[in-house]
Amino acid sequence: MTYAPGIEEFVDRCNAVMPADFFTYAMEEQRRLYQSLVVEFPYELPLDVRWAEHNVTHGDAHLRFRLYEPSRAGSDGLVIYIRGGGFVMGTLDTHHSVAAEIASKSRINVMAVDFRLAPEHPFPVALEDCYTALLYAHAHADTLGIDPHRIILAGDSSGANMAVVVAMMARDRNGPAVAGQALISPVLDFTRWRNGGADAPLLTGGEMEFYTACYTPDPSTTAHPYVSPLVAGDFSGLPKAYVMGAEKDSLAIDAQLYAQALQRQGIDVELVIEPGMVHAAIRARSLSPTVEDAWTRYCSKISEMTRAVS
């Protein structure tokens, strides 16, 4: 297998922290191991970004998020970033540097959303938390210092799934307009993982089967359009998208099929499958110039999307 520079080391170090069968461990231990990736791959926060944590209410809902503000904003847009972690792991801390770097590189405010985790809170709880974030951002645009018409939904892996679905929810509920989608390795069809599937570096079929069971314990919900958008395939009315996949990722097909579906429905989309990269490679941006280049282009595309709104 031919990896991009630095990726083989990244894979080896990840496997040393989180063995391939880690999903069989107790949930508390899985979350502890996932959190330890922050220590294994540390990043200094950009000096040009300030951040603060907020706990607010919107209607009957509680919302917790971090707002990252670059010192030199290039746009009055907002990126709502939804982290990955298979719906079961991760905190605001696990993606702290990711959100901060997006703010710095794109020169746009970033809202990193906290959401409740499965299996304690299965579908659709996390989705509703993220949709609340969109509603809050739109309703409090003046307080946040943003243009409510320049909101981008972004995320990686399961977070990219929720970014897509929140855009669908906004369409279906006549909610706030979304200016764009910026997706990294989206997982958009869980029906193919209900009974396991193919292994790939850092993402096994057993792991995906576990996430599917945690998020949709009722098998009848696995094909729901808000769980597996590719099954229904109705993306009419969604905003333009930048979709980044990884060549060595079993989810690359989801990125490709989603981009093709958007294109068929007349939606502006740009698809990039990064050569030699694996799932979760954004954590390898200090190890791999290939990842750093892909990451910089991703952030630049976010900036372009917000500036393009008239």
pLDDT at 195: 85
Mean pLDDT of 182-188: 99
Domains and CATH numbers, the chain: 7-307 (3.40.50.1820)
The enclosing H or E element of 70 equals strand 61-70
Whether the CB-CB separation of 290 and 7 falls below 8 Å is answered with yes
pLDDT exceeding 90 applies to what percent of the chain? 93
Q: Which pLDDT does position 72 carry in this prediction?
A: 87
What is the structure's pLDDT at 136? 97
Active site residues: 157, 249, 279
Residue 307 CA from chain centroid, whole number: 21
- pLDDT, position 309: 79
Give the distance from CA 206 to its chain's centroid: 21
Q: What is the pLDDT of residues 41-55, one digit of tens each?
A: 999 999 999 999 999
In the DSSP assignment, the letter for residue 286 is T
- pTM across the whole model: 0.97
Interatomic CA distance for residues 151 and 168, integer angstroms: 14
Residue 262 makes CB contacts below 8 A (sequence gap 6+) with 235, 238, 241, 268, 269
| Residue 160 structure tokens | 């990219």
Percent of the chain surpassing pLDDT 70: 99
What is residue 286's predicted lDDT score, i.e. its pLDDT? 96
pLDDT for residue 257: 98
